[in-house]
């Protein structure tokens, strides 16, 4: 099994939800306000389900600024939200 993204995390993903297994992040780390990934302070975005550096978040918000702005445009147009905002960040 591939190693976890979060530095120092030794959790097992065998019982984790598929979203966490796919992104190699345990649920505990996903709920933290700050985790270290590759030495950088990061946070789990609840909109696109990926880790972003904390500078991309406003305060304690759980969604990255770019994701919120892109998703609000899709929502206001009544289109399905497909979170294209993060496709270039991964």
At residue 72, the pLDDT reads 56
Q: Could you tell me which CATH number the domain at 18-86 has?
A: 4.10.1100.10
Q: What is the pLDDT of residue 42?
A: 94
Question: What is the rounded distance in angstroms from the CA atom of residue 25 to the CA atom of residue 70?
Answer: 24
Q: Where are the domains of the chain?
A: 18-86
pLDDT reported for residue 88: 46
Stretches in the chain below the pLDDT threshold 50? 79-81, 83, 87-90
Report DSSP letters for 27-46, one per residue: HHHHTSS-EEETTEEEEE-T
pLDDT at 21: 92
């Amino acid at each position: 099994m591939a190693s976890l993204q979060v530095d120092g995390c030794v959790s097992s993903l065998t019982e984790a939800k598929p979203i966490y297994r796919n992104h190699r992040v345990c649920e505990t780390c996903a709920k933290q306000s700050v985790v270290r990934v590759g030495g950088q302070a990061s946070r789990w975005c609840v909109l696109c389900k990926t880790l972003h550096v904390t500078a991309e978040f406003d305060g304690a918000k759980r969604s990255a600024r770019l994701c919120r702005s892109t998703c609000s445009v899709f929502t206001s147009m009544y289109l399905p939200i497909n979170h294209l905002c993060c496709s270039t960040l991964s």
